Every structure is written in C-alpha cells, then in structure tokens.
Structure 1
C-alpha cells in the first residue's frame, strides 16, 4: 500500500470513528470546517455586544474599577469549565453536547434538559435585545414615539421567524452565512473600539478607570464583587455552541475542542478591549447607569456627531440580529439529539431529519414555537420574562460542570483516547475547580442585584431553577422517560460486549452500521490497524484478535494477509 493511500485511509477512519463513537452513523451532511465552525462559535457568542448591555450593571456593583476588572475575572472563571467541556467534547463528540449516558441515564437526562433550557432562553434573550434596540433607535428618530410591549414583541416575532427561515431553508449556506456574520461582528468590534478611543480627546484618567471603586448596590464590597463576576459570566453561556454541530463536521473530536477554546479566549479579549475603550470614553457614569440604553449614552458622550452615533447603533443592532440564526440552529440540533435519544414526548417525530432540507425541521420548529409562546410573557411582565432568560446562566454552567463532577466520581481513566487531553493532574484540577466555581456561583446567581430589594427588583432565578428541576423530575418519573430514555450509545460500551470469535459482519450489526457503510468501515479500520500494528503494541493485540485468530479478512488480498500475519507473529 502506498503512502498516499495510507494517509487517505487514516484520515477517513479517524474522521468517521469520531462520529461512530457516539453510537450513530452519519445522519447530517458534513458541511462545516474548522474555520466555519470557529466563525459560527464566535458569531453566536459575540461577547462584546453582550458587554454593551452589561456595562451599567458593572458600574452599579463597583464603578469604574468593577467594570474594568470584572470582565477579566468572569472570563477566567468561565474559561476553566470551558476547558473541561472541550475535553469531554473531544472524547464524546455528538450533537447532544455535554450530556452522555456515561453519567448514567438520570444524570444525562437532567444535564440534557439543563442544556435545552439554557439554549431556549438564550434564543429568547438574543432575540428580545435587538427588538428592544430597534424600538430605541426608532425613538431616537421620533422622540414622541412611545413603543409598547406588544410592538416590541412583534419585532421579536419578526426576528425569530427570520432566523428560523434561514436555519431551515438556507442550511447549505449556513457555514458561509455564519462566517459573514463573524467577520461583520469582528469588524464592528474594531470600529467601535477605534471610534471610542479616537473620537473624543477628553478621556478618563487611568487611575480612575483601573482603581476608582464606587459600590451603589447596597451589598458589601466583597459580595458585590462576586455578584458582579457572576453577572459577567452571562457573556460565556454560549461556549458549548460548537459541540452541538459535532455531527456536521469531519474530525469533531479534533475541531470542536479547538473551536470551544479559541472562541472563549477571543470572547475574553474582545470583552476586555471593548470595556476599556468604553470606560475611557465615558464622561458621566451616573448618566450611563440611569439609562435604559447604556451603549447609546456611552457613544453620545464620546462621539459629537449624532449621525455617527445612530449609524453605530444600527450596526450594533444588525450584529445582535445576526446571532439569532446561530442560536436557533444550535437549539434545534440539541432538541433533535435529545428527541433522537427518546428524551422528549413524541420523540420519533421531533428526532426526524427532513429528507428535503437535510435538517431537523421538526425540532427547529418546536424550538421556534416555544420561543414565540414564551415571548408573550414579555407583554404581561418584563420582570417575569427577564427572570426566565436570566436563569439561562444557571442552566448553562450546571450543564458544563455536572458532567465534570461525575467524571471525577467515575475516574478520569474512564475517558477514551482523545485529541484534547488535559492530562491526569491538570485535568483533575480543571474538573475540581469547575465544579467548585459553578457550585458557588449557581448560588450567587440567585441573589438580588441590590439591597434593599422589592417585588420588582427581586431575583427570581431560584424559583425558576427549582420549578425546572421539579418538572424534569416529573418527566423522568411520571412521563415514562425512566424506561424510554437511553441516551446515545457509546462505542466503548458496545465493544465490551463483543465476542472475539464472532464474525466482522456480526460486529458491524452490533455497531448499528448499514451493510455498505459497514463494508467500507471494516476495510479501512483493518487497514489502519495493519498500519499501526507495526508501530504500537496496543493495536497489535487488537489486530491479532480481528485478523489473525479469526482469519476473516474478505476485504484484503492474500498477500496483505500473509504480510500482516508474518509481521505480527515476528513481533
């Protein structure tokens, strides 16, 4: 066998093995590459635009100093569980992302629901923000216009339906579309930072920006700092987006963890850079803190031209809108994966891939329908609506940390070989710190932002979290999911039950492969085993079982059989 043939077979088996490890043959077209996946993760996260909405919160908790240092602290706290998540995504790549039956069915079921609730509320938040911003921009044009809640809801519906149409009807172009959205976001980020830095010669002193602490939250300074770090972690609730496209990219065990880590680090860099540019440009923090649209006051204080301010606000609104299709795409894939594993009512219907569009249309439409109905809460009470979407941060980080905690209980030696390997010592430290951080901040997420508090300013995230947990338990016990939900089948679990004496066709049936796919996979696996049998004793033993003792190799020539047997026996 020539070297090019060996390389081709190696890449084919490595790519396909990642998908088969989750227990499923390829169901989705592989249209994403590493760069388009990274662009997708960056576009969905778009940390700097989320920072623009959190600026007044940081200023309330500690003034300039809090707004400067909190983004760094929250980024570091979020990167740690992201590393653990990236390792798990490398070990078990699937559209389900962070939930897996290696954590037992109940744990996998719970983590799956946490992730689904996270993304449903993320879709709602990424859609309501541009709807509100659009109404505010209209108010700038027409000062006498007073947008009502139902009008904002109708804008919300338009953006949601637009995103749904893109996900369903433009599926083949989504990698390119997300790449365009990514570059648009990064270009807007650079424009905002340079404009804020250069437009106004009057700047805040460095001592003010980095050291001026003014806590108006009513909490003690230490508590205020921790609560603000928790709010800053909202920017990183989307770091698992790339994991839910694992079945739409070749070599997901390699590319998905890369996308997670790179997107998270870039989010931290953009977050800090945008915050510093805004803080140096701000002239009056009291005006920013009292504003319903803080970014407008930051821009108007820094830029003397009203037209330039309006142009930047419209650009910011477009970047916000561009996050909606990616969030919906992610949610639909996650809901589809969960339905495929029997986790939802009418799972066969929602776990179906459309033959026409090659996407999980039913799962995507289910996600859209939920968000449309949920948005009606905004008309009745913005407090209730904001409480629900704020709980996304709790569900997100619990879904990142629970699998890592269960991994610690099971032992890190249970992980299969993987591209992104944190190692025994460093990996254990990452998992422990992730669990501790998320446990602490999950409690802090439920505290009110300021004291004394009132009915309208109270934080009801704890109520939502408890109610969601009770509904998950009821679905597990009373909804029959304890019997029907099995989760994705792991290749490692299947291999444990394989009898070395059975034929390769029997093994293929155990792996749920179609005959044609089984033939291709069997031949290529045997070829790769042959290649590595002369290099690694670990592969030699496996090859000896499959190839020498069983004497079944209908896909290799007699010369290859003889050469392989002589090589193994001589070693």
Structure 2
C-alpha cells in the first residue's frame, strides 16, 4: 500500500481534468421559508392571523360605501329603493356564484365548458371590479376630503380639478404605503378593522338614539318599506330601480 496522503479539502476533478460540479442536496436549506407553492419566500411574512382577518373585514366592508352613497340612493325610490335594490343586487350575486359553481362540477363536457367559460369571465370581471372599485373608492375619499374642507370654510367653492388633484394625492399615498410600508401594513389593517367595527357600532347607536332625543321621531313603517319616491326626474320607475341598483352594487 502507498503511504501517499490524500488531501480531502482539495477540489475534485472529473476524467477530463476539469473541476467536478458541486453536489447540491435536494430540499430546502435549513432556515429557509418555503411557501405553499413550493417556492422560496421572497418577502417577509408580516401578517398574522388577526391581521389577515382584519384585511378580510376591511376589504369586504360595505357599510361605509353604502352609507356614503345613501344620500344619492334616496333619489332612486326613497327608502324602499335603497332596501330592495340592495336586496336584488345581493340575490343576483348569489345566483351567479351558485350557477357558476354548479356548472363547473357538472359531469358532461358541455356543462364543464360552460362552467369554465363562466369562471374565466368571472375572473376577468373580478379584475375589472377591483380596478374600478379602487378608483371609485379613492375618488370617494377625495370627495370626502373636499367636503370636510368645505364644511369649515363656507366661502370655499369646490372645483373639479381640485378633486382630481386630491384623487391623485390619495392614489400615490396608497401606492407608497403598499410599496414602502410593508412592515406597517398589518398594523394599518388592524387599525382600519377597529375603525370599521367601531364605526358600525357608533353609526347604529347614533341612528337609534338621535331621532328620539331631537324630537323629530322615527320614520314611519310605510316610509321605509312601501312609499316609492322617484326624485331622479325620469318617468320610468323600472329604469329608476335598475339605475338605483348601481348603489347597491357599489356597496357590495
């Protein structure tokens, strides 16, 4: 046997005299986070259970949008218009989702094809809904800021270009928070959730207590459920009802 010592730290070479490639073990590196898709987690996971729940509450928050457009909704039929238009929009959304799910699980190829088509159309409309919903919510925030400023400055006359400027400022503020404020997004979500839930409670209490304390009393049963009041200027009540469904759809 040869007494030649082998340097275990020396690089290995193949039969052609070239360095052999390093051996890479399969599986994740120790301490590396792998997401559910099997890929390496690129961004830090800052959201926890409660912050994710807060995102769900804030994203599906409909009372603020519906309450903010309530003054406009009263023109489309009054109290019955507000209630039944929202009810029809909710029922329509439920039926569309159920039909899409039933079509997607049908056994025949025809119904599967129809279900896939409906699902694809639903995804496209959902994307457009998020785009236009974000724009409309931002515009609503801009109008609210202008209205709050006008409330404390009676001599101020709002201009359209001013609303557009505030709209752009709010858009860039939101985009900046999303791009550069990743660490504070969970805290903002929790704060927004508390504001939403607290706002619902305060709004309900104000609407329930104030009519009795001011002496004006509550609205009658017929005013809420049966008295149709068309103040839009259109003669067709059917068209007014369909147009008023936009308020319910915006709230949903």
TM-score (normalised: structure 1)? 0.31
1:192 partnered with 2:203: yes
Structure 1 residues 350-499: aligned runs within 5 Å: none
CA 1:185/1:233 → structure 2, altered by over 3 Å: closer, same or farther? same
Q: Structure 2 CA distance, aligned partners of 1:112 and 1:65? A: 32
2:245 is matched with: 229
- The structure that has the greater radius of gyration is 2
* Gapped regions of structure 1 (runs ≥ 5): 1-15, 89-101, 237-571
Displacement of 1:175: 2.5
Q: Structure 2 CA distance, aligned partners of 1:113 and 1:226? A: 23
CA 1:103/1:79 → structure 2, altered by over 3 Å: closer, same or farther? closer
Displacement of 1:213: 1.3
Partner of 1:68, secondary structure, is helix
CA 1:66/1:115 → structure 2, altered by over 3 Å: closer, same or farther? closer
For this pair of structures, how many residues does the alignment match? Answer: 201
Displacement of 1:113: 5.1
* Structure with more of its chain in helix, by fraction: 1
1:163 partnered with 2:178: no
Q: Structure 2 CA distance, aligned partners of 1:34 and 1:75? A: 28
Checking the alignment, whether the CA contact within 8 Å between 1:47 and 1:235 is kept in structure 2 is: yes
Checking the alignment, whether the CA contact within 8 Å between 1:139 and 1:145 is kept in structure 2 is: yes
Checking the alignment, whether the CA contact within 8 Å between 2:66 and 2:250 is kept in structure 1 is: no
Displacement of 1:26: 5.1
Displacement of 1:184: 0.5
Displacement of 1:83: 6.2
TM-score (normalised: structure 2)? 0.66
Q: Structure 1 CA distance, aligned partners of 2:248 and 2:207? A: 22
Q: Structure 2 CA distance, aligned partners of 1:113 and 1:70? A: 25
CA RMSD in angstroms, aligned pairs only: 3.3
1:25 partnered with 2:39: yes
Displacement of 1:230: 4.3
1:43 partnered with 2:58: yes
1:78 is matched with: 93
CA 1:198/1:111 → structure 2, altered by over 3 Å: closer, same or farther? closer
CA 1:82/1:182 → structure 2, altered by over 3 Å: closer, same or farther? farther
CA 1:31/1:230 → structure 2, altered by over 3 Å: closer, same or farther? same
* Gapped regions of structure 2 (runs ≥ 5): 1-33, 103-114
Structure 1 residues 61-460: aligned runs within 5 Å: 61-81=76-96, 103=116, 114-201=125-212, 202=216, 203-217=218-232, 218-236=234-252
Displacement of 1:153: 2.1
Q: Structure 1 CA distance, aligned partners of 2:193 and 2:99? A: 25
Displacement of 1:190: 1.3
Displacement of 1:143: 0.9
1:374 is matched with: none
Checking the alignment, whether the CA contact within 8 Å between 2:82 and 2:248 is kept in structure 1 is: no
Checking the alignment, whether the CA contact within 8 Å between 1:78 and 1:233 is kept in structure 2 is: no
CA 1:79/1:36 → structure 2, altered by over 3 Å: closer, same or farther? farther
